[in-house]
Amino acid sequence: MAYRTSFIKQIAAELGFDYCGIAKAVQLDEDAKRLEQWLSKGMNGNMQYMQNHFDLRIDPRKLVPGAKSVITLLMNYFPDEHQLTSSPKVSKYAYGKDYHIIIRKKLTEFLVSLRKEFGSIEGRGFVDSAPVLERSWAQKSGLGWIGKNGNLITKKNGSFFFIASLIVDIDLQYDDQFAKDYCGSCTKCIDHCPTQAILPDKVIDGSKCISYFTIELKEALIPDNMKGKFDDWLFGCDVCQDVCPWNRFSTPHKNETFKPIPEILSFSNKDWEELTEESFKIIFKDSPLKRTSFNGIRRNLSFIKQ
């Protein structure tokens, strides 16, 4: 098991992942209770998919029959360039190419390497698009703690990381769970949240989050009671991460595929307002902004300019 574990962490580094932790595949009973309570209070808003596949979310062995280990991988996306301060804001994770495309390819390569080295292995890779509680597994595998803003925070480099999971049917050496919470008495993320979406006890009301309204909400209109609260966020929101003291340790990524789309950095208010659907499809063809569509961007722009 020691060799297998060492090999896995070596491959993770070679594929460009910044952190790799491993935990035993078990049912997440405590997380199940929290998720059930969260859903019962309607904090998922119109994100109905959060209610689906509850049993799969809490037990990786139902996602991958015979699963024994959950490998959690982190990839830094903190940029070294930023938008014009007067422009509508885009969340940093969406500056470059869609991370789903990039990381899925790496997870496929990861499995190929494992099978080449160890023979027949059953496994599946996931990146933010399947019923996996990634942050819980990251904490269980020793990578960091879940902050008051709901993000996984690493002690060394903060929270600007994509999280991916690789669930496999082989036994490995397991990392110790990250037991300490280093948020302490700090409440900066709670105090600065523009829509008061961050509640005590690490509960995030997704139905109040700016990211929910600007990305997940598919309705033609954003509720009037949110007017004046978006702080010019056009797509997503980074406020709770930007104010987190631990992100003073964030360092720029070195991944060329996450290099910002030039227009993300250079577009002015006028550029966004004059953007046509044809240009949107060309400029943002591989961007996370496609998720909300051209009409969603127009809706969001109109809302923050009211």
**Helices 99-118 and 2-14 sit at what angle, rounded to 10 degrees?**
150
H or E stretch at 166: strand 161-168
Residue 21 CB contacts under 8 Å (≥ 6 apart), including other chains: 71, 72, 138, 140, 141, 142, 143, 175
Q: 128 an active-site residue?
A: yes
> Could you give phi then psi for residue 168, rounded to 5 degrees?
-130, 160
Indicate which residue of 128, 169, 271, 286 is catalytic: 128
For the chain, the residue count is: 306
Q: What is the DSSP secondary structure assignment for residue 259, as one 8-state letter?
A: P
- In the block, tokens 């899925």 appear at 104
Q: Smallest Cα–Cα separation from 271: which of 237, 229, 231, 301?
A: 301
β 233-235/89-90 pair status? parallel
Q: Could you give the C-alpha distances from 248 to 78, 150, 154, 160, 251, in angstroms and in order?
A: 11, 18, 12, 11, 8
CB atoms closer than 10 angstroms to residue 33: 11
Separation of alpha carbons 271 and 274, rounded Å: 5
Catalytic residue positions, numbered: 128
